[in-house]
Structure 1
Amino acid sequence: MLALIPLLVPVVLSGAAFASLASVKISAPLANFSLTIGDAAAQNCFPALGFKMPSAVPSSTNNWWCDQSTEYAFLGFSYEVTACQSRGQLIADFANIRKQFNGRYVRMYGACDRDGFYDDIVEAAWEAGIGVHALIWFGFDGGNIWQARCDSLVNSLWSNPKAKFVTRVVQFGSEPMFDSVLSVGNLAAHIWDLKGKIAALGIPITVSEMAYGYTKNNGALPVMSAIDIIDAHMLPFFAQDASTATQAWPIVTRDVEWFIQNGQGKKLILSQNGWPSVSYPGVEANSAAAVADVQNENDYFNLLDFECSYFKTLPGGVGWFAHIYSDSQEPGYGILGTNGQPKFNFNPRTSC
C-alpha cells in the first residue's frame, strides 16, 4: 500500500465534536428507502438496490444503467482476485456483498490470469445483480504482462453477451502514475487506444490513481483528458499529517477538492479507499501519530457515512468503495476478518 501525500494545507477539524458522533450508527433500512428527485429512476435501473435482473440478456444497454448522479455514498467493495477464486466462490461473495451490505459494485483489485476468469466475474455479477469496475493490473514487477491482460479483457467484453451489462468501467491500471509504469504521454495514448477498442460497447475508461500520482506529473493533463470518469485513491492513514480516523476529514477533503477542481467536470469515485486495522511492512504510516487498529478502521467508515450529504452535493455526486472486502485478501483492510465475519458493524448509507 502506497503513501498518500498531502497536497494542501490542512484545515482544523473539530475532532472532539466528531469523535462523539463517530460511533453513532446512521443507516437507511431498505424497507424505508427514500429517494430524492435525482434518485427517482434508481429503482428501475442497474444496479440499483431495488432492480430486478431480467430473465434474458437485453438487446441494448439503452436506459440500463442508473444515472451516475444517483451513485454517491457507499458503492461496494474492492475485491482482490490474486487467489483466482472459483466461479462458485465469486457467486457467493458477490451475493453476500449485495445482500448483506447493499453493495452496488465490486471493484477489481490485483489480477488472475486464468483463462475465462473475467467471464466468471461477469456471471457472478449478473447473478448477484451487481456492477463491476474491471481492472487491467500492471503489478509491481515491470514487464508487459499488462498487455496480455488488456487483450484478454477486451476479448471477454466483446465475446460475453452479459459483459457490457455489468461492466461499468475499465480501470487502466491501479496507481500507474505513482508507480511510473509508463510515461504520462504513453499512458494516455494507451487509454485512447483501449477506448477505441471498446467504444462501441459503451464502457468508459478510467485510471485508478491517488491525487499525488497526478500532481507529481504536473497534473497529468493528457491522462485526465483521456479518462471518462475519475477513480481516486483515498488512503489518509498514509498522509504525513495523519493521526486518528476521526481527525482524517481534512485529508479527505483536500484531495477530493483537488479532483473536483482539476477533474474537468468528470464523475468522481473513491475507488481504493480505506484505513488499515493493522500496520506491518508495506503498510506503514508516514506519521508517528497515525493509528492502525480496528476502532480506527471503523471510525473512518463512520466518518464517510456521517458526511453523506457532502458527497451527495458535490458535482455529479461522489461515491466510495471500501477497500477491501476481506482480510484474507489484504491483511488489515478487510471489512470481513479472516474468519469471514465482519470485524465491526458495517452498514453505511447508499443515499441520503
Structure 2
Amino acid sequence: MLLPSFLRLSLILLSSRVWAYPAGNEERDLVPTRTTEAVARAAPPNCFPALGFTMPSSVPSSLTNWWCDRATEYAFVGFSYEVTDCQSLSQLRTDFKNIRNTFKGRYIRMYGFCDNDGFYNNVVQAAWEAGIGVHALIWFGFDGTDEWIGRRDALFGILHSNPKAKFVTRVLQFGSEPLYDNVLSASSLAAQVTAAKANLSSLQIPVTISEMAYGYQERSSSQKVMDAIDLIDAHMLPFFSTEASTVANNSWPIVLTDLDWFVDNGEGKKIYLSENGWPSVTSSGVQPNSPSAVANVQNEHVVLIPTVVNAL
C-alpha cells in the first residue's frame, strides 16, 4: 500500500541503550526483559499518549502523571508530518485521527514550516482531539536567512498562551539538521537550546535539535549542543551514506553505525529516530554520496529498520 505523503517518514522511538535484531526477514518473538516489565509497571496506569488513553473533557490543572514515562516508549510510535501546505484545522484533524486510529501512532513530528498566524494553535487543537503528542519544530530552512527567529518567538508565544499546548507538546526541536547545514555556529545553537529550555521550563517542555550523527561529527564544537539538549532526535538516512549500496535493504549496518555513535556519545539521553527512510525520487540539489545508491519506489519499500526494543 502506498502511504499518503505525510506518512512517508516514520518516527521511531528508542531508549538510550538498546539491543536490536539483525537485519533479515525472519520473524522473532520479542521477550520483555525483567527491567522493561518493571518500568512498564512503574508507569502511570493512564498516561498520555498511550494507546487506549481517554482524553479528559477539560484541560487538567497539572502535568503530574500526564505524560507516559519515556522509558516505556520504544519501537514505532508515529510519523513525521510536513506542514508546508499550511493544512486547515479540518485537514489536521483528519490526518491526526488517521495516524492515531488507523496506524496506532502516538506522535507526530513536525517537518517544514507554516508561517500563517496562529497555525500551531490548530496543531495543538487537532492533536488534543486525536489524542496524540507533538514533536514541535522551529524550522531554519536551507538558505541561511533569519526567518527562524520569528518562528521561534511565535511558537513560544503559543506554547505559553494556549492552555492545551503543554499537554500535547512532547518536545521542541530546532531543525532540521542545523549542525549539518551550519545555520548557526555550534556555540550559538547550544545557546539557543539553553535559552529555549529556560523559556519553556515552567511548561516542562524539553528542547533538542533534529540532526544526523554526521552533523555532530563534522562540527568541532558540537559537544556543547549535545550537552545542552534534553534528548536526542536522530536522523537515520542511509541513502546519503558513502557506504550506501544498490540494494537498499542492506542498509542496516549503516543505521547501526550511526545508532552506536549516538549511544556512545549521547550521555545516556533518550534517543528518538525522528527522520528515517529511503527516497523514491531525488532532485538536482539532493543527491546521494555513493554512486550505488538508487532512489526508487522498490528501494523505498524494502528499507526496513529492524525491530528495536528497550533493554533497560
Is 1:269 the counterpart of 2:264 in the alignment?
Answer: no
Deviation at 1:190, TM superposition (A): 1.3
Matched length: 284
Is 1:45 the counterpart of 2:44 in the alignment?
Answer: no
Q: 2:259 aligns with which of 251, 256, 259?
A: 256
Query: Using a 3 Å threshold, how does the CA distance of structure 1 residues 143 and 54 change in structure 2: closer, same or farther?
Result: same
Conserved in 1, the CA contact under 8 Å of 2:208 and 2:232? yes
Pairs within 5 Å for 1:149-228: 149-218=151-220, 220-228=222-230
Root-mean-square deviation over aligned CA pairs: 2.0
Unmatched tracts of structure 2, length 5 or more: 1-21, 31-35
* SS of aligned partner of 1:44: coil
Alpha-carbon distance between aligned partners in 2 of 1:217 and 1:283, rounded to the nearest angstrom? 21
Query: Using a 3 Å threshold, how does the CA distance of structure 1 residues 185 and 285 change in structure 2: closer, same or farther?
Result: same
Alpha-carbon distance between aligned partners in 2 of 1:219 and 1:261, rounded to the nearest angstrom? 17
Alpha-carbon distance between aligned partners in 2 of 1:51 and 1:307, rounded to the nearest angstrom? 24
Alpha-carbon distance between aligned partners in 2 of 1:288 and 1:225, rounded to the nearest angstrom? 36
Alpha-carbon distance between aligned partners in 2 of 1:253 and 1:18, rounded to the nearest angstrom? 10
Paired residue type of 1:203: I
Pairs within 5 Å for 1:49-88: 49-88=51-90
Q: Runs of 4+ in structure 1 displaced over 3 angstroms? A: 17-21, 40-43
Paired residue type of 2:289: N
Conserved in 2, the CA contact under 8 Å of 1:43 and 1:50? no
* SS of aligned partner of 1:101: coil
In structure 1, the residue matched to 2:300 is 297
Conserved in 1, the CA contact under 8 Å of 2:44 and 2:65? no
Is 1:242 the counterpart of 2:249 in the alignment?
Answer: no
Paired residue type of 1:293: N
Unmatched tracts of structure 1, length 5 or more: 1-16, 29-34, 316-352
Pairs within 5 Å for 1:131-150: 131-150=133-152
Conserved in 1, the CA contact under 8 Å of 2:49 and 2:131? yes
Moved more, 271-280 or 185-194: 271-280
Alpha-carbon distance between aligned partners in 1 of 2:268 and 2:23, rounded to the nearest angstrom? 30
* SS of aligned partner of 2:181: coil
